[in-house]
Amino acid sequence: MLGIDWYLALSAILFCIGMIGVLIRKNAIVIFMCVELMLNAVNLSLISFSSHYGNIDGQILVFFALAVAAAEAVVGLAIIIAIFRNNLSVDISRVNLLRW
Protein backbone atom coordinates (compact mmCIF):
# COMPACT_ATOMS: atom_id res chain seq x y z
CA MET A 1 0.00 0.00 0.00
CA LEU A 2 1.26 3.46 -0.87
CA GLY A 3 1.90 5.98 1.84
CA ILE A 4 0.38 9.42 2.06
CA ASP A 5 3.60 11.01 0.81
CA TRP A 6 3.14 9.51 -2.66
CA TYR A 7 -0.39 10.86 -2.94
CA LEU A 8 0.70 14.28 -1.74
CA ALA A 9 3.61 14.29 -4.20
CA LEU A 10 1.22 13.44 -7.05
CA SER A 11 -1.14 16.14 -5.84
CA ALA A 12 1.69 18.69 -5.77
CA ILE A 13 2.81 17.71 -9.27
CA LEU A 14 -0.73 18.01 -10.64
CA PHE A 15 -1.19 21.37 -8.93
CA CYS A 16 2.10 22.68 -10.35
CA ILE A 17 1.18 21.51 -13.86
CA GLY A 18 -2.15 23.30 -13.55
CA MET A 19 -0.54 26.47 -12.19
CA ILE A 20 2.05 26.54 -14.98
CA GLY A 21 -0.75 25.99 -17.50
CA VAL A 22 -2.74 28.92 -16.11
CA LEU A 23 0.29 31.21 -16.16
CA ILE A 24 1.62 30.26 -19.61
CA ARG A 25 -1.32 29.37 -21.84
CA LYS A 26 -3.49 31.92 -23.64
CA ASN A 27 -6.42 29.76 -24.72
CA ALA A 28 -9.38 30.23 -22.36
CA ILE A 29 -10.47 26.60 -22.59
CA VAL A 30 -6.99 25.31 -21.76
CA ILE A 31 -6.77 27.75 -18.83
CA PHE A 32 -10.14 26.52 -17.63
CA MET A 33 -8.96 22.90 -17.80
CA CYS A 34 -5.82 23.81 -15.86
CA VAL A 35 -7.92 25.41 -13.12
CA GLU A 36 -9.95 22.21 -12.93
CA LEU A 37 -6.71 20.22 -12.72
CA MET A 38 -5.62 22.37 -9.78
CA LEU A 39 -8.95 21.81 -8.07
CA ASN A 40 -8.67 18.05 -8.54
CA ALA A 41 -5.14 18.14 -7.09
CA VAL A 42 -6.50 19.79 -3.96
CA ASN A 43 -9.28 17.21 -3.81
CA LEU A 44 -6.70 14.43 -4.04
CA SER A 45 -4.77 15.84 -1.11
CA LEU A 46 -7.96 16.19 0.94
CA ILE A 47 -8.87 12.58 0.24
CA SER A 48 -5.33 11.49 1.12
CA PHE A 49 -5.39 13.23 4.47
CA SER A 50 -8.89 11.96 5.16
CA SER A 51 -7.86 8.39 4.47
CA HIS A 52 -4.60 8.70 6.40
CA TYR A 53 -6.22 10.04 9.56
CA GLY A 54 -9.33 7.87 9.29
CA ASN A 55 -11.65 10.87 9.31
CA ILE A 56 -14.52 11.26 6.86
CA ASP A 57 -14.64 15.08 7.02
CA GLY A 58 -12.19 15.48 4.12
CA GLN A 59 -14.28 13.24 1.91
CA ILE A 60 -17.40 15.25 2.68
CA LEU A 61 -15.53 18.44 1.85
CA VAL A 62 -14.42 16.93 -1.48
CA PHE A 63 -18.03 16.06 -2.28
CA PHE A 64 -19.06 19.70 -1.80
CA ALA A 65 -16.00 20.92 -3.71
CA LEU A 66 -16.96 18.73 -6.67
CA ALA A 67 -20.50 20.13 -6.58
CA VAL A 68 -19.11 23.68 -6.63
CA ALA A 69 -16.71 22.69 -9.43
CA ALA A 70 -19.61 21.42 -11.52
CA ALA A 71 -21.43 24.73 -11.09
CA GLU A 72 -18.22 26.60 -11.86
CA ALA A 73 -17.76 24.55 -15.02
CA VAL A 74 -21.22 25.51 -16.25
CA VAL A 75 -20.72 29.22 -15.57
CA GLY A 76 -17.16 29.22 -16.92
CA LEU A 77 -18.11 27.51 -20.17
CA ALA A 78 -21.04 29.91 -20.61
CA ILE A 79 -18.66 32.85 -20.24
CA ILE A 80 -16.20 31.28 -22.69
CA ILE A 81 -19.00 30.74 -25.23
CA ALA A 82 -20.15 34.36 -24.81
CA ILE A 83 -16.59 35.60 -25.37
CA PHE A 84 -16.26 33.35 -28.43
CA ARG A 85 -19.48 34.71 -29.92
CA ASN A 86 -18.25 38.29 -29.57
CA ASN A 87 -14.61 37.83 -30.61
CA LEU A 88 -14.68 34.61 -32.66
CA SER A 89 -11.67 33.53 -30.63
CA VAL A 90 -10.98 32.21 -27.15
CA ASP A 91 -7.50 33.74 -27.04
CA ILE A 92 -7.22 35.63 -23.76
CA SER A 93 -4.78 38.20 -25.14
CA ARG A 94 -7.40 39.35 -27.67
CA VAL A 95 -10.18 39.80 -25.12
CA ASN A 96 -10.75 43.38 -24.02
CA LEU A 97 -13.83 43.58 -21.83
CA LEU A 98 -13.14 47.12 -20.56
CA ARG A 99 -13.43 48.86 -23.91
CA TRP A 100 -16.14 51.43 -24.65
The per-residue pLDDT for range 12-68, each reduced to its tens digit, is 999 999 999 999 999 999 999 999 999 999 999 999 999 999 999 999 999 999 999
Taking a C-beta distance cutoff of 8 angstroms, is the pair 79, 18 a contact? no
pTM reported for the whole predicted model: 0.86
Q: What is the pLDDT of residue 95?
A: 75
Q: Which of 30-34, 59-63, 73-77, 88-92 has the lowest mean pLDDT?
A: 88-92
Distances (CA, A) of 22 to 17, 33, 45, 64, 95: 9, 9, 20, 24, 16
What is the Cα–Cα distance from 28 to 2, expressed in whole angstroms?
A: 36
